Amino acid sequence: MTDVTASPGSSNVASATPDTMAWDSRARRVVMIYLPLACFILILLFPFYWMAITSFKPNAELLNYKEHNPFWITSPTLLHIKHLLFDTSYPRWLKTTMMVAIGSTFLSLFASTLAAYAIERLRFRGSPYVGLGIYLAYLVPPSILFIPLATVIVQFGLFDSPMALILVYPTFLVPFCTWLLIGYFKSIPYELEECALVDGATRLQILRRITLPLAVPGLISAGIFSFTLSWNEFIYALAFIQSGANKTVPVAIVTELITGDVYQWGALMAGSLLGSLPVALFYSLFVDYYVSSLTGAVKE
């Protein structure tokens, strides 16, 4: 028999191999996951950081980068926010924007829910093509539609009124919300509605008591989409609103806080920062429903 004895260095090699593999795994994880994620977060959050520091910088630091660090604040001030809130109509702009966003979101969800349910559940001839046609309407650029829509708004006597935006915004909100809700209604078992039909329930009762409670995540997702687009919309708000008091935040901070060639950078950044907070808060409150709606809409 041959006596085979392990060499003294074999145990060290065996013990070093798992450590080397673990180090390679950590290094690969850092390079493949954490480094790209850090770059993405930096690029995503840097505009908000720049708005924040610009909002609290005095004009001396804003206009003199040779003596002051552009990425930091030496002497923070609240003068820009005070000027924005008390010397301009920003509170009214914010109120108008909120009213327009809520009103257009409500109308869009109401119309989209009925349209999506009819296309998906009633199963009439050509319903898939109707859904596709509604979604294709979302792809039409607003820069093409605002001219004929302006004629309609003037004929109805709604020009320079927030109601014009509430009625116009659903033209680009309803198509996408309908397409989104069609995909979510597909994930709800049709057998539940068949049982309700056998028990004598009407379509409206089924929609109100069965389908809508199950489709709450999809409705919230469509609501987030509608509210965000309504809040940030610029072209229609610029074309249909002329008076400074009725303007929305995205248009007002550009047209009212720039006088000639003088840019009030502190007030501009403060208005942009305060204007983005409601959308961020609204999204953070319903982010779980938003993610669940996206996963539910792709089920077969």
In whole angstroms, give the CA distance from residue 215 to residue 37: 32
Task: Specify whether the CB–CB gap between 93 and 252 falls below 8 A.
Answer: yes
Q: What pLDDT digit, counting tens, does each position of 174-187 carry?
A: 988 998 888 888 88
What dotted CATH number matches 79-296?
1.10.3720.10
The pTM for the full model equals: 0.80
Inform me whether the pLDDT recorded for 3 exceeds 60: no
Of 140 and 237, which is predicted with more confidence? 237
Q: Taking CA 106 as the corner, what is the angle to CA 205 and CA 233, rounded to the nearest 5 degrees?
A: 150
Residues 86, 90, 95, 98: is their CA dihedral positive or negative? negative
Q: What pLDDT digit, counting tens, does each position of 36-60 carry?
A: 888 888 898 898 898 889 889 888 8
pLDDT band at 165, cuts 50/70/90? very high
Exposed/middle/buried for 253, CB within 10 Å: 0-12, 13-18, 19+? buried
pLDDT band at 290, cuts 50/70/90? low
pLDDT band at 299, cuts 50/70/90? very low
Inform me whether the pLDDT recorded for 298 exceeds 90: no
pLDDT band at 21, cuts 50/70/90? low
pLDDT band at 4, cuts 50/70/90? very low
φ, ψ dihedrals at 259, nearest 5°: -110, 105
* Distances from the Cα of 23 to the Cα of 16, 112, 199, 203, angstroms: 11, 52, 63, 61
Query: What's the pLDDT score for residue 2?
Result: 47
